[in-house]
């Protein structure tokens, strides 16, 4: 009788282990499908690097390299006169600053109409 109980116990543990293994593989399959579906739903927006103000700038402030930072910006929504490279914003051999013509908020894109020529 004890031998039968021991055998049933061993078979039960084996079946329980197999069930856990199968459940784990099914759950992993669901996770993989969910992750691939989420990745497919993400819009692929092309971005480019542009310069924005690091801080709020007022009329007449000097714009130096310390006042700007480069960030990603949607390529389809680029305004006219945007600065994309450091050479465009601060050309070599010129002064190291520009003057702000219009007030700008923090992280606002720098445009050619808002600053003076170098």
Report the alpha-carbon distance of residue 114 to residue 100 in Å, rounded.
6
- Bridge partners (DSSP) of residue 3 are none
Q: Which helix (H) or strand (E) holds 49?
A: strand 47-53
Read off the pLDDT band of 10 (50, 70, 90): very high
Q: Tell me which of 20 and 97 has the higher pLDDT.
A: 20
Q: Which fold has domain 47-114?
A: Type Iii Antifreeze Protein Isoform Hplc 12 (3.90.1210)
Helical spans, DSSP H, in the chain: 2-41, 86-89
Segments making up each domain of the chain, as ranges: 1-42, 47-114
DSSP state of 79: P
pLDDT value of position 59: 92
Q: Quick: pLDDT tens for 63-72.
A: 888 889 999 9
DSSP state of 107: T
Read off the pLDDT band of 11 (50, 70, 90): very high
Q: Tell me which of 32 and 91 has the higher pLDDT.
A: 32
Statement: the pTM of the whole predicted model exceeds 0.85: no
Read off the pLDDT band of 15 (50, 70, 90): very high
Read off the pLDDT band of 47 (50, 70, 90): confident
Report the alpha-carbon distance of residue 1 to residue 21 in Å, rounded.
30
């Amino acid at each position: 009788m004890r031998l039968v109980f021991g055998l049933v116990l061993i078979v039960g543990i084996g079946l329980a282990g197999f069930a856990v293994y199968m459940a784990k593989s099914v759950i992993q399959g669901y996770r993989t499908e969910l992750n691939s579906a989420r990745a497919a739903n993400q819009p692929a927006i092309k971005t480019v690097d542009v310069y924005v103000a690091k801080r709020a700038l007022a009329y007449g402030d000097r714009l130096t390299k310390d006042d700007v930072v480069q960030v990603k910006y949607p390529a389809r929504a680029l305004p006219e006169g945007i600065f994309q490279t450091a050479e465009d914003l601060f050309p070599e051999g010129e002064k190291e600053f520009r003057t702000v013509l219009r007030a700008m908020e923090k992280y606002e894109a720098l445009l050619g109409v808002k600053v003076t020529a170098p």
